[in-house]
Amino acid sequence: MASTADIKNGVVLKIDGQLWNVVEFQHVKPGKGGAFVRTKLKNVLSGKVIDRTFNAGAKVDVENVDRRDFTYLYNDGDSFVFMDVELYDQISLQAATVGDAANFMLENQQVQIALNNDNPLYVELPPSVVLEITYTEPGLQGDRSSAGTKAATVETGYEIQVPLFLETGTKVKVDTRTGDYLGRVN
């Protein structure tokens, strides 16, 4: 068991049997009364964010989360297969564990998988990836009814909004956290 002095950004706490990642923390020492630690916690599995306050010196259960590099190999229908880049071991993850990362993963792409006691928790992608547009309608000149954007399907099958001038076959940079178009790539 650790104390509230060990709370830092990125630390994973086990509270009521669930894993919570510390997003923000602040040590507060008011003029009157005891000190406390105010935190913003994000549930590792569901993504739910809560605010939690701990009294200074209170015991907290810090969990060990190991982030290791993996290569995404392929999707075999109902699960995704990854290979550890150091040990060359293959693991298979269910779609629920992979989550929205599946919308941006290409074969042979490097990802990080967070593991707790060798149990995979979630897949972490780089902040942005380069994907090719496989289908988009031709943009109509002068059409501004849709704020200058149109739907485009990228090579993973995910649909994003892109500017009207982009065509099928164009490579674009996409934000993996929001799915937003970031720019063209030559």
Same domain, 120 and 135: no
Q: What's the pLDDT tens digit per position in 102-158?
A: 999 999 999 999 898 888 988 889 999 999 999 998 866 665 655 678 899 999 999
Q: What's the pLDDT tens digit per position in 152-170?
A: 999 999 999 998 888 999 9
- CATH number of domain containing 151: 2.40.50.140
Same domain, 16 and 40: yes
Same domain, 72 and 47: no
- For the chain, give the percent of residues with pLDDT over 90: 61
**In terms of residue numbers, what domain contains 55?**
2-63
Distance CA 9, CA 24 (A): 6
pLDDT at 121: 86
Same domain, 115 and 165: no
CA separation, residue 35 to residues 4, 87, 90, 127 (Å): 11, 46, 47, 36
- Per the structure, the count of domains in the chain is 3
Same domain, 100 and 152: no
Q: What's the pLDDT tens digit per position in 74-87?
A: 998 889 999 999 99
Last residue of a domain, one of 63, 82, 116: 63
Same domain, 114 and 152: no
Distance CA 146, CA 24 (A): 37
Last residue of a domain, one of 101, 124, 147: 124
The token pair at 186 is: 């030559």
